[in-house]
């Protein structure tokens, strides 16, 4: 086992291939759909979850990772003589996972006062590949032999820049999640209006509205173009409703260069947007904490 371990939760939306490449330890959330519990990344794929969402009678509920599970994880790495454990969590404003990790770190110190392992808990302040991509970069830094302090500084800087722009092609789930009011959702369905939402530091904001499904992605990319740090990469989160090649062409036409890659939107985002959505993750101007 290496001296530095990178641990995160399944809301990061990192693919199994990238997880293996960058040696990321991903802890899964449990999700309840119509009274039945599932484990993300184990009991269903992203596409299977979209089908479950379309058939669900109510809004699925996600349970945060418990202090006990974190404590078990910390002890396992301590047993392997890990020197620095870096845990990056989903935004603390949307989940109690970060708080649970803090509790577990306190319990670990009480149960193993002799341990020399340093536990660093980092709030990503964001969701999905907005922190998943950053974790992959951190994984490369670990493989390159960078010190834990250098990686932590990188994470702090990166998360102060990360942004998401989301658009939902259906307002059903947006209404249920409270992202837009019921009245606005009904009006939107009647008029064919779709909201475009920014998700920054855990705060969602409707920044634009477009009429017509065909205008959703181009309008979304125009907002990204205005907010992104010039010349930097972006990634596109899609569901099973969008064609990757067509989406790539639209993104490239607006941005002037293609996306770095595509990923499937996981449950943390798609539960709120619905299974018919698109999300762009990128880095903008650095924000003060």
Return the CATH number at 250: 3.30.1180.10
Domain annotation covers residue 56: no
Domain annotation covers residue 38: no
Return the CATH number at 135: 3.40.50.10440
Q: Which residue among 160, 179, 212 closes a domain? A: 160
Total structural domains within the chain:
2
Q: Do residues 278 and 192 both lie within one domain?
A: yes
**Rounded CA gap, 65 and 92, in Å?**
12
Q: Do residues 193 and 124 both lie within one domain?
A: no
Domain annotation covers residue 47: no
- Which range marks the domain in which residue 144 is found? 4-29+64-160
Global confidence as pTM: 0.93
Q: Do residues 142 and 202 both lie within one domain?
A: no
| pLDDT tens for each residue of the chain, 289 residues long | 469 999 999 999 999 999 999 999 999 999 999 999 999 999 999 999 999 999 999 889 999 999 999 999 999 999 999 999 999 999 999 999 999 999 999 999 999 999 999 999 999 999 999 999 999 999 999 999 999 999 999 999 999 999 999 998 887 777 665 544 443 444 445 457 888 999 999 999 989 999 989 999 999 999 999 999 999 999 999 999 899 999 999 999 999 999 999 999 999 999 988 899 999 999 999 999 7
């Amino acid at each position: 086992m290496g001296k530095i371990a990178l641990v995160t939760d399944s809301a990061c939306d990192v693919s199994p291939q990238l997880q293996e490449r960058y040696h990321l330890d991903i802890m899964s959330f449990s999700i309840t759909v119509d009274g039945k519990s599932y484990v993300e990344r184990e009991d269903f794929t992203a596409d299977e979850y979209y089908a479950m969402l379309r058939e669900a009678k109510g809004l699925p509920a996600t349970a945060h990772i418990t202090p006990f599970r974190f404590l078990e994880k910390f002890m396992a790495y301590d047993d392997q003589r890990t020197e620095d454990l870096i845990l990056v969590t989903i935004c603390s404003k949307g989940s109690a996972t970060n708080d649970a990790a803090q509790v577990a770190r306190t319990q670990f110190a009480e149960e193993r006062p002799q341990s020399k392992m340093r536990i660093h808990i980092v709030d990503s302040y964001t969701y999905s590949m907005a922190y998943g991509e950053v974790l992959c970069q951190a994984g490369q830094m670990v493989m390159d032999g960078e010190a834990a302090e250098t990686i932590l500084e990188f994470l702090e800087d990166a998360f102060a820049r990360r942004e998401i722009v989301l658009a939902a092609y259906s307002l059903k789930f947006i209404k249920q999640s409270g992202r837009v009011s019921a009245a606005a959702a009904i009006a939107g369905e009647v008029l064919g209006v779709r909201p475009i939402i920014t998700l920054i530091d855990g705060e969602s904001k409707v920044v634009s509205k477009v009429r017509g499904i065909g205008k959703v992605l181009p309008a979304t990319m125009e907002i990204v173009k205005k907010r992104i740090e010039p010349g930097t990469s972006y990634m596109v989160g899609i569901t099973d409703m969008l064609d990757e090649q067509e989406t790539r062409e639209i993104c490239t036409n607006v941005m002037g260069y293609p996306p770095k890659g595509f990923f499937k939107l996981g449950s943390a985002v798609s539960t709120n947007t619905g299974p018919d959505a698109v999300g762009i993750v990128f880095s903008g101007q650095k924000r003060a904490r």
